Amino acid sequence: MKALEEQVRTLAEEVALLRGELKAQRDAKSMDTATESRVLLASSHVEPGTLASSAAPAAPEPVASQVPQTQATGGTQLQTYGGATSNAKLLNPDISLIGDFIGNFGHNNVTPSRALELHESEIGMQAIIDPYSRADAFFSFGETGVSVEEAYATFTSLPAGLLLKVGKMRADFGKVNTIHNHALPYIDRPLVTNNLVGGEDGIDDAGMSLSRFIAAPKGWFMEGTAQVYRGDSDDLFTSYRRQDLSVVGHLRGYRDLSESTNLDLGISYARGNSAGLSFAPNPSAFFTNLYGADATLRWKPLRRAIYKNFLFRTELFWSARDQLSALNFFETQHAFGMYSSAEYRLNRRWTVGGRFDRSGRAMNANLTDTGFSGILTYWPSEFSQIRGQYRFGHLALATPGDFSLANEFLFQFLFVMGAHGAHPF
């Protein structure tokens, strides 16, 4: 009986709360309409909150239209309760999901991919941590498993103009290595990424990054970055001992040629222990040195930025890889690879592009792959993207001089949910 009474009492309380909530919403609504009655600046002006001038009572409190309804009606107990839960949500990080669906048709004997796949679902969580740092985390759910693509804290308030990042991140090696799959201007990555720079994930490792602007000639922006990583990056670097760290250095120079045109140049260096040598007697003595140079030219007229723009980019890579030869001798393979790409925005929704690829293989520089792609992209809105890519490949086979031709058509559909933070320029 007592329990029943208790229950009735709670129910009554709940009804009272709901009534209050309803009233609050009604009040807020009438408040909204009230704010529409306008006050002419010339006749009577009231400052929001702070400035009490000749205070015309009819003046809308500008803040009122901004604050959530709960506060607009003054804090009854209910409002505080509801406010507390909804306000706690405001501290949640920005959460986003980007789905990357890829279809692949045609002929490729060397590096075939599946006909249809949800290549990646990238979940991003981004937030300001405290007054001194922020954090960005991106988890990549692929067809075969989950990986932390990046998760790092950025310390934005260090002395001496230093910017420190700590966590797992894509290394600042050239341009394409830093770009997430969904932000690439093509569906696949350039051949050289796969051949020389560690495959799709590229140099992506746990470590620390320190960068700083460097004094530069007038009109130039220069930035230097030094990074140290554990030394494990796919099939590029492997850390055989704890002290086998890898390092990456990057120097960037940027210049506005005019209001609409700019030039972005960079040189990069990376060094780590060659991957795949755990069977060797002393794998820590085998290094891979990577050198890179990149150049980007952008044109975007400010008045028509959303309709017309052009970007040309080229990156060159040199790889010097210590390894064991077929006869188990120590050898260094020197391979070169590059790509050049261009994209032109035709109008608000369409972009055309092309890419030329050429790259030796890191482990056997005698084998060279060449390719060409044509790309067409359509944006229904800022939050989805449809892309087609024709890809031709002249791909080397294991015996030198032998090759296979690849003719493929790739199709991609990208969709963005939630608030995905802007990427650096």
Partner 1 sequence: MHRCSFRTRLTAVVTALAFSTTLLAPAPTRAANKLQIMTATTDLASLAQEVGGDKVDVESIARGYQDPHFVDAKPSFLLKLKRADLLIVVGLELEIGWLPPLINQSTNPKIQVAAPGYLDASRFAKILEIPTGQVTRAEGDVHPLGNPHYWLDPENGLRIAKGISDKLSEMRPGDAAYFAQRYADFEQRLKQADERWLAEMKPYAGRKIVTYHRSWPNFAEHFHLNVVGYVEPRPGIPPSPQHTVELMQLMKREGIKVIVVEPYFDLKTPNAVARETGAQVLVLPPSVGGEKEITDYFKLFDYDISKLKQAFDATH
Burial tier of 293 (Cβ tally within 10 Å: 0-12, 13-18, 19+)? middle
Query: What is the helix (H) or strand (E) element at residue 138, kind and residue range?
Result: strand 133-141
Residue 425 sits in the site that holds partner 1 (CB under 8 A): yes
Point out which span in 97-105, 142-150, 399-407, 415-423 binds partner 1 (CB under 8 A).
415-423
Task: Tell me the closest approach of the beta carbon of residue 422 to partner 1, in angstroms.
Answer: 5
The whole-angstrom separation of Cα 191 and Cα 203 is 15
Total binding residues toward partner 1, as defined by CB under 8 A: 62
Cβ distance 414 to 385 under 8 Å?
yes
> Hey, what amino acid is at 6?
E
16: phi > 0 → left, psi -120 to 50 → alpha, else beta; which?
alpha
The whole-angstrom separation of Cα 282 and Cα 294 is 34
Site string for partner 1, 181-200 (x = CB under 8 A): --------------------
Task: Tell me the closest approach of the beta carbon of residue 338 to partner 1, in angstroms.
Answer: 24
The whole-angstrom separation of Cα 421 and Cα 411 is 25
Task: Tell me the closest approach of the beta carbon of residue 129 to partner 1, in angstroms.
Answer: 11
Residue 57 sits in the site that holds partner 1 (CB under 8 A): no
Residue 223 sits in the site that holds partner 1 (CB under 8 A): yes
**Which member of 74, 217, 281, 401 binds partner 1 (CB under 8 A)?**
217
The whole-angstrom separation of Cα 85 and Cα 241 is 49
Residue 304 sits in the site that holds partner 1 (CB under 8 A): yes
Cβ distance 202 to 170 under 8 Å?
yes
Residue 350 sits in the site that holds partner 1 (CB under 8 A): no
Residue 55 sits in the site that holds partner 1 (CB under 8 A): no
Residue 303 sits in the site that holds partner 1 (CB under 8 A): yes
Cβ distance 249 to 271 under 8 Å?
no
3-state secondary structure of 296: strand
Residues lying near partner 1 in the complex (CB under 8 A): 35-36, 38-42, 45, 47-48, 50-51, 60, 62, 65-66, 128, 131-132, 134, 154, 156-158, 161-163, 212-213, 215-218, 221, 223, 252, 254-256, 259, 262, 264, 298, 300, 302-307, 347-349, 381-383, 419, 421-425
